[in-house]
Structure 1
Amino acid sequence: MSAAHANPVAALFCRLSRVAGIVVIFSVVGPLTTAALVSVTVTALGAAMLQMFLALLDLEALRALLSIAVVLLAIATVLASFLPAVIAGLIFALAVVYADLNMIWMAWLAAAVAAAGFVALGMFIVPSETSAVILPSVRSAPEALKLSAMLAILAVIPASLCWWLAKPLYRVILPA
């Protein structure tokens, strides 16, 4: 008789703890990686143009303010990507633990579904200006599809990193 059949409560607890661990990895690593990607992209693409404007207009005093702006952008990115990362982690964890779909494409698909859900939520819910909720403001279905595709492409690298870091949790071999 297997250990899972002998003690179903232990097997249930083991699966739930694996799901929770994967969700935690996605909810911590995903937003931090997304913020790093956005910050590096903004810095890399805007650095040459910024240098030109600072030299042309002789505004060296703005350099400190711009570094603060990049840090604030990173913080806003972490906050905005937290909910989609948790949802992607939950989708991936359920697929891994209960359906045994632990391929990298499943992590990408989970991230794309979470990004599309986040954009769809922004189509129907418009938070007030004093709300701390960060949702995209989308007005049409084509705009939502474009934004979902862009966010899904951006989420490939964080989802890949989360997939790699979660390997010990979904490669657990339960006794037969």
Structure 2
Amino acid sequence: MLTEITLTIQTHLLTGQPVPEDFYGRVDEFVTGEGKPSITSDLAGADTDVRKLMLCFEAATKAMSYADLAQHYRQFQSIRDRAKAVTTALTAAEDIITKKVVPERLDEDGMSNVTIKGVGRWQVQGDMYVSTPKDKKEALFDWLEDNGHGSLITDTVNASTLKAFVKEQMKLGNEIPDDILRIEPYDRASLVKA
């Protein structure tokens, strides 16, 4: 059943195929057979199939051995890594179509847009990437201030730096103002190579 849950999650998320109608009932039977409470009421409150699948997976993993948990964890890491690679490739393919092929074709055909029945309209508009080298940040701030655009400048604190600071202060027993910081401690298991 655990493998079926994992495969159903993968199939639903990667292909969008619907979850089999009897799937949730079979998971509930499996979970309650392990002496765990029924998840029927939790499933009724879930608003999407993804949420329902995650509830099923969570309930089922409570019956898994550490070895099984590690195997599933590694499997999901591998899938996530492949999904990132696919996302990167799909973004690059979209960029080729939208930033190169279509603009060039419309220009060659002397058109500013073209409508495709039942799909939509291709049109081209100017856009740009804007960034500044780190070593030029102060110069940019000076330029913005000198030209009356200082309101664009905001002070920020890096999230990782803030987290490390708060952890350190809590470890030292110093008070942290909970009215300006939202702190949600949690435990996370990590799987390291043996």
What TM-score, normalized to structure 1? 0.27
Pick the structure with more helix per residue: 1
